[in-house]
Amino acid sequence: MKNVLFVITSWVFIGCIGAALLRLLLGPRGADRLTALAVISSLILALLVLYGTQEGRLLYLDVALLYDVFGFLGILAIARFFRDKESGERKL
Amino acid sequence: MMSGIIDVISIVIALLACLFAIAGTIGLFRFPDCYTRLQASSLAASTAPFTIFLLSLINAADVAQAFRILLIMVFFLISSPTTTHIISRYAWFSGIIPWTKPGDKS
């Protein structure tokens, strides 16, 4: 019963990740792509926590915490890189 | 009795999470501007995972699992608004004018 609930929620989230991937591919500006990337990162984090709870394994939750940290740092670094690239001053 | 109550609450929370995720993804495609898309996508990027964290928290098997989920929730409360702020600041500094209605002067 609860397994079926978790599996249905996982498939809905995977469908949303696919749709956001489409926006990531055809976003007209860089900010749209970053928005889609934030959506994908958060939904994958939710999937990791959901799967870890369903299987009852603690390893998925540790990986989810690290994924949260690195997704945040990755979006920060990508935004910084795009801003430097668009303003034309490459600081190496 | 207790597990029946938890089952009902789990079904309601899972339906809410699916609704939030689908609504945010639809808003990602139907809104015209990157700021409005950011506002719509924050529904799918922060409300839906937080609802899933609540679902996992009331279904946690033992104390270690619940503490890890609480830790993820606390860090997610810090990182998710900061991510949105970083993206909107990048969009503003890269010169994107916010969308207004075609006949609207303000």
Predicted confidence at residue B96, as pLDDT, reads 79
Reading chain B (106 residues) residue by residue, the pLDDT tens digits are 778 888 899 999 999 999 999 999 999 888 888 888 888 888 888 899 999 999 999 988 889 999 999 999 999 999 999 999 999 988 888 877 888 878 776 5
pLDDT at A90: 53
Question: Which pTM does this prediction carry?
Answer: 0.88
Contact across the interface for B90 and A83, Cβ inside 8 Å:
yes
Range of the domain at A50: 2-86
Site of tokens 């207004």: B100
Q: Is residue A92 in some structural domain?
A: no
Number of domains in chain A: 1
Assigned domain for A91 exists: no
For chain B, positions 49-88, list CB contacts with chain A under 8 A. 49, 52-53, 55-56, 59-61, 64-65, 68-69, 71-72, 75-76, 79-80, 82-84, 86-88
Give which of B41, B40, B39, B51 is closest to B76, Cα–Cα. B51
Burial of residue A28 (number of CB atoms within 10 Å: 0-12, 13-18, 19+): exposed
A46: left (phi over 0), alpha (psi -120 to 50) or beta: alpha
B46/A42 Cβ within 8 A: yes
Q: Which residues of chain A have pLDDT under 70?
A: 88-92
Q: Which of B18, B24, B79 sits opposite A68 (nearest CB)?
A: B79
Q: Do A53 and B60 touch (CB under 8 A)?
A: yes
Give the angle subtended at the CA of B99 by the CAs of B98 and B104, to the nearest 5°: 115
For residue A17, tell me if it sits in a domain. yes
